[in-house]
Structures are given as C-alpha cells and as structure tokens.
C-alpha cells in the first residue's frame, strides 16, 4: 500500500468517525430535551441490571430460538470487530496483518473470528427466513411498513455482506493461506480461487479489504437512523431503567407541591404574588409533547429495537384495539427527531403547530392500555412504554378534562361517594349482609 492509499484511508477514517461523533452529539442533545429525573440511586442494582440484561441477554433468551441466535450475532459484532484494530493500523501505516507477530495467538484469534463470522452469516440468513419466509406475525404489524420494515432487512444484508467480505478477504490472501493456520473457514473457500493469477487474487483481497472497512464505517453511521441504535444505547438504557416494582406509579411533583400548599396551615391564601412571578407559566400536568417527557423516556424511544415483543404481549393489541406499545415508542422517536431537526434548522425550538399527542399518538391508543405492564416485562432492553402512556393520559385528564365518560363517572363517584360506584356512602357496607 503506497502513501496515497494511506492518505485515502486516513481521510475515510476521519470522515466516518467525524460524522458518527456529529450524530452522537445530536442524539445526546435530543435526549437532553427531556425533563430531568434522578436515576442515580442504588448503583449496585443498576450495574447488575446492565450486566444481566444488556450484556448477559437474560431477557432475550425468554424466547430461546431468537435469544440464542441474537447472542451469536451480538458476539460476532463484539468479537469480529476486534479485527478492525488491525485493519486500521494496516490502513494508516501501509502494513499487512501487522498483528501476525503474535504468532500462535494471532492464528487462534483469526480462526475464532472466521468461525464466528460464519456463524453470524448463517444466523442472519435464519433471521431473514423468519422475517420474510415464515413471516412471524409480530414483524408484520401495521407500523412495520416502509422504512421500519426495510431497516431490519438493510441490517441483515449489511451483516451478510460484511461477514462474507471478511471471509473472502482471508480466502484470497495468499500469504495468510500459506500459513495454513487460523484459516479455519477460509481454507474451504480458497480452492475456489486456485485458477486465479496472483495479481487477480491480490486485487480481490484488496477490494474486499477496502469494501469491508468502508462498510463498517457506513454501518457505524447508519446506526443513528436505525433501530439498531440499541447496540449502543442498550447499556445506558438498562442502567437507568426504573428499579421500582412494576405497577408502582410516581406522583406528579407539581400536584404534590400544590396539595402540600393547600394543607399547610402556615400558608396565607391572601398573600401577594411574589415579585416577578406574575407572568410565570405554571408547570404542565402530564405530557403532550416530547419535551414534557423525561430524558430516560426519550432515551427509551431511541433504544427501541422494534422487535415487537411488547406488542405481541399486549392484551389490548391482541383484542384488536388500536394500541401498539412498539408504535408508541416509534412515534415518540419520530416526533423527537422532528423536534431535533427543528432546533438544528432554526437554532432553537420554533413552534411548528404539532405535538406528540394527536399528531402522532391518538387518545384512542392511550385509553386502550390496561396498564398491565406486559410490554415493560417483555422488552429485552427494559424500555417502559407504559410510563409515556400514563404521562400522556395525565395530560388528557388534568389539563384537558378529556377522560372517557366511564372514567369521569368513576372519578365523580369517588369525589362524592368515596367509592367508584354510584350509591350512597351509607350503603357502602350493604354487601356484607347479602
């Protein structure tokens, strides 16, 4: 490799990593649009959660076939990409297999990489068959059309091409094949090229090398636009997940503060409004847009793998209701991206006349939820769609008085009768005499 190749590689590397860093900064900015929430408690439990769920894939294997296949791809992503270290050194300095001085250990590494690359190749083919031939129902919900459907396929094709290029690169590397060590899989591909001239083999090997590293950089930058962003975000998402018992809802701080003021005997109800507070906008109850959600909920939206386990377990969805927890997360992410583009274009958030509620998520979807937590339990990376649903419901009830009639009747009965049912308080215990 001459100096021009080194320079071209350096430019490619800088552009690829630079664009990735730019997107990560934009991602961080968008997540920080959410309200602050303290998830710094119980560090030990949080590290354990991340180790078990994100690294150990403990929730993935609840569906054994998909779980084991996913672990293979996950291991391949982590292990095979160690080879990128050598590729970068070779690309920058014009060396060839610079780490081969490690001798037997190097051969063991490359042999392991080849085996894993082959297993990943087989696995993604199986994933493609499950999605496109067997057509598992959760991959074909109505929200999985257009880009969401194609996105999953793009990643599978990416993996097929990258793993094939890695094996092709090794199979046509004459020096590597002459070592006859570490070529665990590529030795069976190498005979296919016996009739090729050495110059042709060199061109094929170099072409595979260049396309392989370029593909990795393209894949790296595609992550931001893809559901596969969970490759990066699954770790912080599981670390900052809610550790409280499922079904334990938080109290709205704004409501709590108002109640405390109402019950405080030392508060003067006729006191003058503090100076400077005349035009202060009171805090919103619940959420109608992404900026009303907290930053963990926004990170949840970016972390969603669109696997559909939440929706397939949702009793409301199973009975034909409009609700799909997966769609809730996808729509939240779409709206957050729209808000982010608004800020990038204008330098600040300019009112676009839209919001998450109604423009993306309908009240019908929100009220179909039974708050059973099945979606939270099923998610392989501890995403919490229910928290978004509850916050948006709170907005509908407390800001717009837009609860369904049945719920309004129940709340009226509780206020008047101390019970959800419409009868006199004096009759509340009549059931015991029956």
**pLDDT computed for residue 256 by the predictor:** 81
**Would you call 247 exposed, middle or buried from its count of C-beta atoms within 10 A (0-12, 13-18, 19+)?**
exposed
Mean pLDDT (the chain, rounded): 91
Long-range CB contacts (within 8 A, 24+) of 375-379: 375/310, 375/311, 375/313, 375/314, 375/325, 376/246, 376/310, 377/246, 377/313, 378/59, 378/62, 378/309, 378/310, 378/312, 378/313, 379/59, 379/309, 379/310
pLDDT at 200 over 90: yes
pLDDT at 268 over 80: no
pLDDT 10s digits, 32-47? 999 999 999 999 999 9
pLDDT at 133 over 90: yes
Half-sphere exposure of 92 (CA within 13 A, CB side): 9
Q: pTM of this prediction?
A: 0.90
**pLDDT computed for residue 425 by the predictor:** 73
**pLDDT computed for residue 355 by the predictor:** 96
pLDDT 10s digits, 298-323? 999 999 999 999 999 999 999 999 99
> What's the farthest any 2 CA atoms get from each other in the chain?
98
The first and second tokens of residue 311, run together, are: 């929706």
**Would you call 289 exposed, middle or buried from its count of C-beta atoms within 10 A (0-12, 13-18, 19+)?**
buried
pLDDT band at 328 (very low <50, low <70, confident <90, very high): very high
H helices present in 277-320, as ranges: 295-303, 309-313, 315-318
DSSP per-residue letters across 185-220: THHHHGGGGTTS-HHHHHHHHHHHHHHHHHHHHHHH
**pLDDT computed for residue 408 by the predictor:** 87
**pLDDT computed for residue 434 by the predictor:** 60
List the single range of 69-78, 301-310, 324-333 with lowest mean pLDDT: 69-78
pLDDT band at 75 (very low <50, low <70, confident <90, very high): confident
Q: In sequence order, what are the residues at sequence separation of 6 or more whose Cβ sits closer than 8 angstroms to the Cβ of residue 99?
A: 85, 86, 89, 106, 109
Judge contact between 31 and 298, C-beta under 8 A: yes
pLDDT 10s digits, 216-259? 999 999 999 999 999 999 999 999 999 999 888 888 877 787 78
Taking residues 71-77, report their average pLDDT. Answer: 89
- CATH number of the 253-264+282-420 domain: 1.10.1060
pLDDT band at 266 (very low <50, low <70, confident <90, very high): confident
Angle at alpha carbon of residue 223, lines to 306 and 80, rounded to 5°: 105
**pLDDT computed for residue 247 by the predictor:** 85
Q: How many residues does the chain have?
A: 434
Q: Give the whole-angstrom CA distance, residue 393 versus residue 292.
A: 13
pLDDT 10s digits, 78-115? 888 788 999 999 999 999 999 999 989 999 999 999 99
The residue that leads in pLDDT, 236 or 3, is: 236
**pLDDT computed for residue 278 by the predictor:** 54
Judge contact between 236 and 299, C-beta under 8 A: yes
């Amino acid at each position: 490799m001459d100096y021009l190749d080194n320079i071209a590689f350096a430019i490619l590397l800088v552009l690829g990593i630079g664009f990735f860093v730019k997107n990560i900064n934009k991602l961080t900015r968008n997540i920080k649009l959410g309200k602050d929430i303290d998830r710094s408690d119980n560090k030990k439990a949080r590290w354990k959660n991340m180790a078990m769920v994100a690294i150990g894939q403990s929730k993935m294997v609840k569906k054994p076939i998909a779980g084991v296949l996913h672990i293979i791809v996950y291991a391949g992503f982590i292990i095979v990409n160690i080879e990128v270290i050598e590729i970068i050194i070779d690309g920058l300095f014009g060396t060839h297999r610079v780490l081969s001085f490690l001798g037997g250990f190097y051969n063991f590494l490359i042999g392991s990489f080849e085996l894993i690359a082959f297993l990943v190749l087989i696995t993604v083919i199986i994933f493609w068959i499950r999605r496109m031939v067997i057509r598992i129902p959760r991959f074909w919900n109505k929200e999985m059309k257009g880009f969401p459907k194609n996105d999953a396929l793009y990643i599978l094709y990416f993996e097929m091409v990258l793993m094939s290029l890695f094996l092709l690169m090794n199979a046509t590397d004459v020096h590597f094949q002459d070592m006859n060590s570490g070529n665990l899989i590529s030795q069976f591909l190498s005979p296919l090229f016996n009739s090729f001239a050495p110059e042709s083999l060199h061109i094929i090997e170099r072409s595979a090398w260049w396309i392989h590293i370029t593909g990795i950089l393209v894949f790296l930058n595609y992550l931001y636009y893809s559901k596969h962003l969970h490759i990066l975000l699954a770790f912080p998402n599981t670390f900052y997940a809610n550790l409280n018992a499922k079904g334990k809802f938080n109290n709205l701080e704004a409501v709590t503060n108002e109640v405390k003021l109402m019950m405080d005997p030392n508060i003067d109800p006729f006191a003058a409004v503090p100076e400077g507070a005349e035009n202060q906008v009171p805090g919103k109850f619940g959420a109608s847009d992404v900026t009303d959600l907290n930053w963990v909920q926004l990170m949840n939206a970016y972390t969603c793998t669109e696997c559909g386990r939440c929706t397939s377990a949702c009793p409301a969805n199973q009975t034909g209701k409009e609700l799909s927890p997966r769609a809730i997360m996808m729509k939240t992410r779409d709206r957050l991206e729209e808000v982010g583009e608004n800020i990038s274009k204008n330098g600040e958030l300019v009112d676009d006349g839209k919001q998450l509620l109604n423009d993306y998520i309908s009240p019908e979807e929100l009220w179909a939820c039974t708050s059973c937590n099945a979606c939270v339990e099923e998610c392989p990376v501890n995403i919490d769609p229910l928290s978004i649903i509850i916050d948006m419901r709170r907005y509908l009830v407390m800001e717009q008085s837009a609860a369904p009639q049945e719920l309004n009747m129940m709340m009226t009965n509780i206020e008047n009768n101390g019970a959800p049912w419409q009868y006199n308080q004096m009759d509340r215990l009549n059931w015991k005499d029956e």
